[in-house]
A and B are shown apart, each in its own frame.
Chain A
Amino acid sequence: MQQKLRFLALALTQRLSSALGSAQASCVQYRLIVRDVTTLQLLQLYTCLDQIQYIEWSSDSLFILCAMYKRGIVQVWSLEQPDWHCKIDEGSAGLVASCWSPDGRHILNTTEFHLRITVWSLCTKSVSYIKYPKACQQGIAFTKDGRYMAVAERRDCKDFVSLFVCSDWQLLRHFDTETQDLFGIEWAPNGCVLAVWDTCLEYKILLYSLDGRLLSTYRAYEWSLGIKSIAWSPSSQFLAIGSYDEKVRILNHVTWKKIAEFEHPAMVADTKTVVYKEVEKPPSVETERLSFPPTRALASSLFSTQSKYDISQVPVSFQYIKPVADRANPKMGIGMLAFSSDNCFLATKNDNIPNAVWIWDIQKLKLSVVLEQLCAIQSFQWDPRQPRLAVCTGNSKVYLWSPAGCVSVQVPMEGEFQIVSLCWHPTGDSMALLSKENFCMCYLEREEVK
């Protein structure tokens, strides 16, 4: 980890959208602020009609849409032409969700109660409607190359999937799925296989080919709570399925059969696993420099505890939490799954052991590293370019892990800064750390290899 981290902090932000290129957008209340990524200098400032709930960049980074659900309005701003404006009003239909199409010229609005999805075009005057969309978490999925769109539908108490060609919104395929209650759909990165999985009451995942044929069905067990999260590997070779029984099952793309089963027990005994445990370091105070009244920096450094990683000796047991049995959507099972961009690692989080991140080596199909944090994991994300994982746990530290080691970095902010989510820049040179109200840009400087 021979990299320097530069931090630039900003105040009072609500939403952040990562930029594809050099600009970064964030919104505060009803204002949209566009900045330069490297310097965070203000580039543009737009004002919307209402409090913005959602912002999204178009695929070519020329437009930003701002959705205001309460008002049912979507406003689109152009980066090239600040004068250009566009407003889409759903009126009494209401607005629940809004997103760009992959070509960057169409906006898909999902009306209230999931009555329909309206496809607004910015180039033509045409409007398309998709009826009976499914009211589920991931009802719309675009292929990576942006050619096809899969929409989950429900008619007559049955689930269907419609495949559209994004260029002209032609319905390509329409087929029913053998699911009780479709929970989500996701394309494989190669754009040829669509994963469709059922509600958590039923462990069932279906794999459909691009032309609508059912390739395979996988059921691990019956009756117990089923799939909680899934993730495709970037090469489309593997499909990782995290379920409520605290296990991750890996399916391979050739036979669509399970090739590995990863368990997340409360005790890790394998001697080849490295367990990094975050321990608090007592703050080092140089008594000479103490002055009265204490400066802000000093105060913050005194009160913010430093932490470092220690390697725990195997066997290690983790803090295991058994959730309350009579609540719905219990905090158990594998809640987060992510493959690294080079296909070598899989990071998982078992909600029963909320303080640990489990990193699995996919080449060997076994557990490689466990990061044990002091607080519960909020989110983690892999670097888009390297096998580097950034983790945040709700305190003002960001944790980075790579096969070389892991490091805990204190974000130098005045006051409280509880990082709840983070987002990498597509180049992997910087990442945005978000708290509830602020965000912070973290720049990772590459050291020249001599």
Chain B
Amino acid sequence: MGDWKTVTVPVLSSDSKNIFQYTSEKKISPPSMNSQVLRLPLPSSKSMHSFFSAFCTEENIEQSISYLNRELTTLGFPSIYVEPKGKELNLISIINCMNELLVQQHKNLRAQEEVEMQHLKLGSDMDHLQNSYAKLKEQLELSKREIVGLQERDRQLQSKNRNLHQLLKNEKDEVQKLQNIISSRATQYNHDMKRKEREYNKLKERLHQLVMNKKDKKIAMEVLNYVGRADGKRGAWRTDKTEARNEEEMYKVLLSDYEQRQKQLLVENAELKKVLQQMKKEIISLLPPQKQKPKERSEDGPVLSDLEEDIGELNKENMWELSCETVREQLTNSIRKQWRMLKNHVEKLDNQVSRVHSRALDDKDVISREDHELKTEKLELEIQQCKEMIKTQQQLLQQQLMSPCDDDTTLLLQDCYLLEERERLQEEWRLFREQKKNFEKERRSFTEAAIRLGLERKAFEEDRGAWLKQQFLSMSTDYKHSENVTTPSAFLGSSDQDSRLTNSTSQQRKPHCTLSGPVSAEPGQMSQYISCNSSNAASKKPAGDGKPNQWEESDEGEVE
């Protein structure tokens, strides 16, 4: 239809002219729209309304709808007609489209806001950058000026320096010149002096000649009498001998002086050597052994051994006499080496200390101060504890040792304690033994009782058997009174059977009371008797036999 110009949303005012302007800017092709637009005198309150109603009126609804449909479809929205080329409007789609359009509108507004914000920001950034640029430019200018100024100063100073150098050179040259002048003048003066002196000498000679020639008698010595020499000796003529003697004397004097000096020097030397050796020993003792490099050790090794040999020799012999160069040199060299090593060691320690102070613990050998302190504290605590322990132990030891001080009483006490214990133990032993005996007795009695019981039971069984037999027999004898099956001794009358049984049992019991020997015999008898009996009795045999066996076994079991 037409292209909408991208125009910002106008601020709607009551002025209808604006609207006119606005609407006139629109390039809407359908002229009907324009005319329609022009015809509208719109009140302010309804301006929005009127604006929005400017597009579509009652007359051009269909056209506007179709237009809208076209626009929407071109924009990608679904058609608002139900059917293409139909005239029914799809309300839903319309609403959707409207919603979409609103959403898009919102989006666009937001985007616009953002863009505006960014625009503002960029604008302010730009301002800021421009300001800073201006400042930097100023600074650059300033520093350029400064540089120029400094360069100027530098140039001045350099020129000054050159001048001063020149002056110095000049002064030095002058000094040299003056010295040369002085030396030349000095030689001139010397020459003149010598000349004058020669003249003077000549005069002196002349004068001397005159004086001598005059032969002044005045030049004499008057003395009352000659005095003896101070040392009482007579004066001697000067001869060759005396001359030789004088020479000798002189040399003797010189030699004695030299000897004295040499002695002093020897003494000093010996002292210094001693001091050096002491120092060497001390330095060696100070140096930590692991710090010595093997190289130096190997170097020092033969040297030291040689030195020590030499020193040993020196010590053996008279130290005053030996002072060979090599020994001296070796001693001084070794001391120098040791001193250097000590110095290096001390320097290392200093470095370590400084490093520790600056808390740069890179070196493994270095223990940080804190750790060191902690360790020392721990060690101290341990030491204290150990000390306390030692103290307590000592006290205890002392107490123990102190006890021997009350010798007898403690011994006695100890003995008493021992005796008590011993007696107690003995008593207990006794009791134990008694109990043991008692137990054995009881056991024996029990076994005997058990055996008796067994025997008795057997007897009882036999008696029972016999009585039953008897009964049976009596029953049968009632019929056969004549059979006279009587058993002698073993079986007695039926009325007395119980008593007999008891008697027999008591009889049997008696032998049972005695040793176990006859016990074995009697079951034989009993078995004899039982075998004579009926089968019941026979069946009881094994039981009877078994019982004592069982008893024995059980007895044995008990014993065990």
Binding site for B on A (CB under 8 A): 59-60, 63, 76, 78, 83-93, 103-105, 113, 115-116, 120-127, 147-148, 154, 156-157, 165, 167-170, 172, 180-181, 190-192, 201, 209-211, 223, 253-254
A259 → B minimal CB distance (Å): 15
List of B residues within 8 angstroms of A120 by Cβ: 221
A277 to B219, CA, bound (A): 55
Whether the Cβ atoms of B219 and A90 lie closer than 8 Å is yes
Q: How many residues of B contact A (CB 8 A)?
A: 45
| Given A89-B219, A122-B227, A168-B242; A115-B182 close (CB under 8 Å) | no
Whether the Cβ atoms of A192 and B236 lie closer than 8 Å is no
| Given A147-B253, A192-B257, A210-B250; A87-B222 close (CB under 8 Å) | yes
Whether the Cβ atoms of A115 and B226 lie closer than 8 Å is no
List of B residues within 8 angstroms of A154 by Cβ: 197
By CB atoms of chain A within 10 A, which of B182, B193, B211, B236 has the most? B211
Known: A85-B224, A92-B218. 19 other contacts (CB 8 A): A63-B227, A86-B222, A86-B223, A87-B223, A89-B218, A90-B219, A91-B219, A93-B216, A93-B219, A105-B227, A116-B208, A154-B197, A157-B194, A167-B246, A172-B250, A180-B190, A181-B193, A210-B250, A254-B261
Q: Nearest A residue to B219 by beta-carbon distance?
A: A91
**Per-position 1/0 for B242-274, Cβ under 8 A of A:** 110011011101100100010001000000000
> Is residue B235 contacting chain A, with contact meaning CB distance below 8 A?
yes
| Given A211-B251, A223-B179; A123-B227 close (CB under 8 Å) | yes
Whether the Cβ atoms of B204 and A113 lie closer than 8 Å is yes
A90 to B236, CA, bound (A): 26
A122 to B224, CA, bound (A): 10
Whether the Cβ atoms of B229 and A115 lie closer than 8 Å is no
Q: Which of A115, A253, A254 contacts B208 (CB 8 A)?
A: A115
List of B residues within 8 angstroms of A190 by Cβ: 257
**Per-position 1/0 for B193-207, Cβ under 8 A of A:** 110011001001001
21 A-B pairs, CB-CB below 8 angstroms? Answer: A63-B227, A87-B221, A89-B222, A91-B211, A91-B216, A91-B218, A92-B214, A92-B219, A103-B230, A121-B235, A123-B226, A124-B226, A124-B235, A157-B197, A157-B198, A165-B249, A168-B238, A168-B246, A172-B246, A191-B257, A210-B253
A103 to B198, CA, bound (A): 36
B471 → A minimal CB distance (Å): 153
List of B residues within 8 angstroms of A181 by Cβ: 193
List of A residues within 8 angstroms of B216 by Cβ: 91-93
| Given A115-B211, A157-B194; A89-B220 close (CB under 8 Å) | yes
List of A residues within 8 angstroms of B182 by Cβ: 223
A444 to B395, CA, bound (A): 74
Q: Which of A93, A168, A180 contacts B211 (CB 8 A)?
A: A93
A170 to B245, CA, bound (A): 11
List of A residues within 8 angstroms of B249 by Cβ: 147, 165
Whether the Cβ atoms of B221 and A88 lie closer than 8 Å is yes
Whether the Cβ atoms of B250 and A211 lie closer than 8 Å is yes
Interface of A is mostly: loop
By CB atoms of chain B within 10 A, which of A85, A147, A167, A253 has the most? A167
Whether the Cβ atoms of B229 and A123 lie closer than 8 Å is yes
* 7 nearest A-B pairs in the assembled complex, by CB-CB distance: A91-B218, A91-B219, A91-B216, A86-B223, A192-B257, A157-B194, A165-B246
A167 to B235, CA, bound (A): 9
List of A residues within 8 angstroms of B220 by Cβ: 88-89, 91
Q: Which of B197, B223, B242 contacts A122 (CB 8 A)?
A: B223
> Is residue B186 contacting chain A, with contact meaning CB distance below 8 A?
yes
Q: Nearest A residue to B257 by beta-carbon distance?
A: A192
B76 → A minimal CB distance (Å): 104
Q: Nearest B residue to A165 by beta-carbon distance?
A: B246
B518 → A minimal CB distance (Å): 135
In chain B, positions 167-221 with a C-beta closer than 8 Å to chain A are: 179, 182-183, 186, 190, 193-194, 197-198, 201, 204, 207-208, 211, 214, 216, 218-221
List of B residues within 8 angstroms of A125 by Cβ: 226
A157 to B246, CA, bound (A): 30
B220 → A minimal CB distance (Å): 6
| Given A105-B230, A211-B251; A84-B224 close (CB under 8 Å) | yes
Whether the Cβ atoms of B229 and A103 lie closer than 8 Å is yes
> Is residue B225 contacting chain A, with contact meaning CB distance below 8 A?
yes
A95 to B222, CA, bound (A): 16
| Given A103-B229, A168-B236; A92-B254 close (CB under 8 Å) | no
In chain B, positions 258-311 with a C-beta closer than 8 Å to chain A are: 261, 265
Q: Nearest A residue to B231 by beta-carbon distance?
A: A103
